[in-house]
Chains A and B, each alone.
Chain A
Amino acid sequence: MTGPLLEVAHLRTEFVTGGAPLVAVDDVSFSLAPGETLGLVGESGSGKSVTAFSIMRLVQPPGRITGGEIRFNGRDLLTLDEEAMRRIRGAEIALIFQEPSSALNPVFTVGDQIGEVLRVHGRATRAQARTRAVELLEAVRMPDPAHRVDDYPHQLSGGQRQRVLIAMALACKPSLVIADEPTTALDVTVQAQIMELLSEMKTQFQLSLLLITHDLGVVAESADRVAIMYAGRIVEEGPVRQIFRSPAHPYTRGLLASIPGGAPGSRLQAIEGTVPRLDQLPPGCSFAPRCPSRFDLCDTAPPPPYEVGPGQRARCYLHRNR
């Protein structure tokens, strides 16, 4: 058994805008084995995208990584110089963005844009790039790839654009793909096709996938393990079956219960209240103000992760005595 491909330990990313720094990612640790899919789930502002950008070292000022380690293939990405990091980005770790329309450059053909990735990383000459681009478009099931390669992004549908982004991500055969809400902007039938494509590509290219999403349905179908983020922290983590069958954190339970699916017309189990602002986090557990199981300990300090089952951990004082 080889070690993990990616190991994030105690990652902390802050944004400094005048007053006290806002901690967008706080003590986040997880690992990803070769060939594994980890679903990183959270609502807006939970820190899941900042986590992804931190791994790619693409956090822009006033954001800054202020602590932790990101070990990828044995190297600590946080200690690499910018040149070494540039060689990893796009070649060994690729990122697929949420908005297929804004992630592509409108004035270049899709062939040019796929080719650029290959040429920047020295994987193809200008002449070879076009052939490789057609092959990659074919791999992502683009209809009529030999002609589509000369299309501009506006000539393609949303689903086709997402296929182009996946082709670009796969161009240099990375070992890790981070997909940030890859299907959120797409219609449900197209979403199903793209998720199917991603899982096929994962097998074919032997990828590990960090799948960032707010959709627990997508996670249930595609991920091996799940990490649930809330207000910058991973509040629960574990194998996908375990999390869906026996969620340990009240937030995870609330999220699962709020999915419509019970008797039609019945009341949905809403989580009351709203996500706290990062500059107004409570001193204890961030979820405490909305938590139905809150007790005195919850307001003291943020709970550490407790082992709640095989491979399952939850940051919740309910599990302190196990």
Chain B
Amino acid sequence: MMPLLDVRHLAKQFSRTRGLFGAGSVLRAVDDVSFTIEEGETFGLVGETGSGKTTTGRCVLRLIEPTSGEVRFRGEDVLRASRRRMRELRRQMQIVFQDPYSSLNPRMRVRAIVEEPLIIHRLGGRVERRARVDELFGLVGLDPALADRYPHQFSGGQRQRVGLARALALNPSFIVADEPVSALDVSIQAQVINLLQDLQQQLGLSYLFISHDLRLVRHICTRVAVMYFGRIVEMGETGSLFASPQHPYTRALLSAIPVADPDARTPRLVIEPAGIDSTRPLREIADGHWAAV
């Protein structure tokens, strides 16, 4: 069966100039990244600051134009889609941002924020849109009576629900969730994660779940790719990857997770960036488990 999303050899380079006459250098933010996401799957992209995980997510949606590579959504080449076709595709592919404080326009009532995609895509009249917004509020567990308030009147968790309602407005099948809970308090994180899982079941969504939190990724994702300096260094089923990590970076990353158990002291592994051969290609070491070793 055709995967929902098929990313092949994706690359994004940023050029840095050095002064007026200096030779520029090229930063490979995303370097030959390939993965697929199946229908109904939650695919995790983990890595630390600067690993290229967010850039990868944005390139998939063409919020950033990749330098090269291929992104196929249900077989269709997204990177070569016309402006008009891209607009149609965006109804299928949406994003939820990390920061619920800066990603909502503070001067708009939340009803208008959630309704805006419907207006842009000319879906329904005033009455239908109003009903749809109420429905979306119900879907994400917000009281529709709060729809006429402004973002600052909501807590962080509620704002993330508003962002989710907006992303769901066009009835997408695929959502890029870029660190959707990392700005939230622990007790609220669990609420939003549960909501993401409920919505997935209810609406048949697929997620690209971008996160630095390995505990969360292990909990919610079916498959995981680990990024390091723009490349995927390991990828596999969540269970297999967490049980037998193969790449030295994955091992160091897993050993660094603080465990909420005073009696479970795990030895920390230290990673030496110089010790990693970044040109090594991924190879399949077990069924569906790939590592650059």
Contacts and interface: CB of A to CB of B under 8 A. Distances in A.
Contacts of B214: 188
Interface residues of B, number: 42
Contacts, number: 114
Interface string B130-166: 0000000000000000000000000111100000000
A43 B260 contact: no
A274 B218 contact: no
A241 B263 contact: yes
A281 to B, nearest CB: 15
Nearest to B271: A189
Interface stretch (B19-27, B116-124, B185-193): B185-193
A73 interface: no
B103 interface: no
Interface string B43-55: 0000011000000
Nearest to A185: B49
Contacts of A244: 260-262
Interface stretch (B10-18, B82-90, B251-259, B278-286): B251-259
Which among B49, B156, B214 has the highest number of chain A CB atoms within 10 Å?
A: B49
Main secondary structure, interface of B, reads helix
A43 B257 contact: no
A269 B187 CA distance: 9
A231 to B, nearest CB: 12
Interface stretch (A113-121, A144-152, A258-266): A258-266
A265 B260 contact: no
A275 B215 contact: no
Contacts of B253: 188-189
Contacts of B212: 187-188
Contacts of A262: 219
Size range of the chain A interface in the assembly: 35 or more
Contacts of B189: 258
A195 B268 CA distance: 11
B190 A270 contact: yes
Given A188-B257, A265-B219, A271 B187 contact: yes
Interface stretch (A4-12, A92-100, A215-223): A215-223
Interface string A206-222: 00000000111111110
Interface string B233-270: 00000110000000000001101111111111100101
Contacts of A190: 48
Nearest to A259: B260
A79 B265 CA distance: 43
A192 interface: yes
Interface of B: 48-49, 155-158, 185-191, 193-194, 197, 212, 214-216, 218-221, 238-239, 252-253, 255-265, 268, 270-271
Interface of A: 43-44, 158, 187-193, 195-196, 214-221, 240-241, 244, 254-256, 258-262, 264-272, 274-275
15 contacts: A44-B156, A192-B255, A214-B186, A215-B258, A244-B261, A256-B260, A260-B218, A265-B220, A267-B194, A267-B197, A268-B193, A268-B194, A270-B190, A274-B155, A275-B185
Given A189-B253, A260-B190, A260-B219, 16 more contacts: A44-B156, A44-B185, A187-B48, A188-B212, A188-B257, A192-B255, A193-B270, A221-B258, A221-B259, A241-B263, A254-B187, A256-B260, A258-B190, A264-B219, A265-B197, A269-B190
